[in-house]
Amino acid sequence: MRQSNTKQTILTEAVKLFAQKGYTAVTVEMIAAAVGIKAPSLYKHFKSKQEIFQSVLREMERRDAENAAGFSLPTESVETAPQTYADVSVPAFMEYCKWQFRYWTEDPFASEFRKMLTVEQYENAEMNALYHQYLGAGPLQYTEDLLHSSSRALALYGPMHMLYGVYDRAADKPAVFALLQTHLAQWYAFFFEEKGE
């Protein structure tokens, strides 16, 4: 394996193990075994489990910025660029929500990261803060900033957030995605079409 491929494989296998066993329970030896290398070989790429975790976070930050930019959504704060938030089309944002749901449930790396944070949020303050940054208060605040309304944001994001867990346990995963689409259509009809906006 080339070095960059090995590093990516280490990150992929680490995030899988973190999701299955919890960050604290996973050792460098376990990650190395999942990759198919010895621990000393892993240390050629990363100095510690914490460094692996920091690389996982950097990968998620990179993906988040790339995903938002791909939908022409703001990547800076509303305070920094208020006009970019004002210019966002609600139907375009709804398409992003559908895509984001698929990303957090179907993308192997993002899905395992989400599951890890869901479990680990109760173990330590850092994981709790990350959970809220990626899945809780962070996306809710971003949605509120885009929609300029806390009630519209909660009505949109609350059910979407709940459906992540439903999706994980569902035998019929396409039915859960169809439920999300129905939710978004009803949300839009209630908050925008019925009010003539």
DSSP 67-113: HHHHTT---S-TTT-HHHHHT--HHHHHHHHHHHHHHHHHSHHHHHH
Count CB neighbours of 86 within 10 A: 11
Distance CA 111, CA 144 (A): 24
Q: For the whole model, what pTM was predicted?
A: 0.89
CATH number at residue 3: 1.10.10.60
Left if phi > 0, otherwise alpha if psi is -120 to 50, otherwise beta: which for 22?
Answer: left
Q: For residue 63, is it within any domain? A: no
Q: For residue 4, is it within any domain? A: yes
Q: Identify the pLDDT of residue 197.
A: 58
Q: Which domain holds residue 18?
A: 1-56
My answer on whether 44 and 119 are in the same domain is: no
Q: Identify the pLDDT of residue 64.
A: 84
Q: Identify the pLDDT of residue 1.
A: 46
My answer on whether 35 and 91 are in the same domain is: no
The DSSP output letter for 123 is T
My answer on whether 18 and 85 are in the same domain is: no
Q: For residue 48, is it within any domain? A: yes
Q: Identify the pLDDT of residue 195.
A: 59
Q: For residue 65, is it within any domain? A: no
My answer on whether 76 and 164 are in the same domain is: yes
Q: Which two three-digit tokens encode residue 127?
A: 């994981």
* pLDDT, mean of each 10-residue run, the chain (197 residues): 78 95 93 94 94 95 85 89 92 94 95 94 92 96 95 97 96 98 96 72
Please count the structural domains in the chain.
2
The phi and psi torsions of 89 (rounded to 5 degrees) equal: -80, 130
My answer on whether 138 and 189 are in the same domain is: yes
Q: For residue 64, is it within any domain? A: no
Residue owning tokens 């066993």? 21
Count CB neighbours of 87 within 10 A: 10
The DSSP output letter for 1 is -
